[in-house]
Amino acid sequence: MGEEIKVIVFRLGSEEYGIEVDKVQTIERMMPITRVPKTYSFVKGVINLRGVVIPVIDLRGRFGLPEIEETDQTRIIIVAVNEMQVGFIVDSASDVIDINSDQIDSPPEVVGGIKAKYLQGVAKVGEERLLVMLNLSEVLNKSEIIQLEGLEE
C-alpha cells in the first residue's frame, strides 16, 4: 500500500495539476510584479512578499501554453524547492486533497503539450478526475532558470 500524499490542486486552462503540500509555502492573490530584464519570457519578475524578494514564473509560459488575462481566480503559489523560493502564477488554486502514491502512474511523453520531464506522474482521483503531478525540481531546473540566481540574496 502506498503512502498518503496531501496535494494542492490548481488549474491551468482545463487541466488540473497537483503539487505536494509540503513543498507549498503559501498561496497568494495576484500582486504587483516587478519585471526583471534579460530573463526568460516565462519569468514574470519578482514580488516582495513580507520582505522577501521572490521570483515569479508564469507556469503557462513555462509549459508553452497560451497566456491569458489574469482574473479574480488567478493565484501565485509560493513553493520552496532546493532552498529556492519561487512563485508560480496559476489560473486558480482550488483545493487540497489526499491521494495515495499508488494512484500515481508515470507520465505519458506529453500531457497537454507539456514535456514529461516536468511531470512526476498522473494521479487518478475518483472515477473521472486526473491530476497531473508536477516534478518541481525540473520545473525549477537551475540551468534553465539560471538568471534567477542573482535574485536570491
Q: What is the count of structural domains for the chain? A: 1
**pLDDT (0 to 100) of residue 113:** 56
Range of the domain at 65: 4-151
**pLDDT (0 to 100) of residue 153:** 37
Contact assessment for residue 83 and residue 153, using Cβ atoms and an 8 Å cutoff: no
Consecutive H or E run containing 62: helix 59-62
**pLDDT (0 to 100) of residue 112:** 57
Read off the C-alpha cell for 19.
503539487
The 10 Å Cβ neighbour count of residue 45 is: 17
Contact assessment for residue 12 and residue 81, using Cβ atoms and an 8 Å cutoff: no
- Digit-by-digit pLDDT tens for the chain (153 residues) are 779 999 999 999 888 999 999 999 999 999 999 998 888 888 899 999 999 999 999 999 888 888 889 999 999 999 987 778 899 999 999 899 999 988 888 876 655 555 667 788 889 888 888 898 988 877 777 555 544 444 443
CATH number of the domain where residue 96 is located: 2.40.50.180
Residue 111 CA to residue 132 CA, distance in Å, equals 8
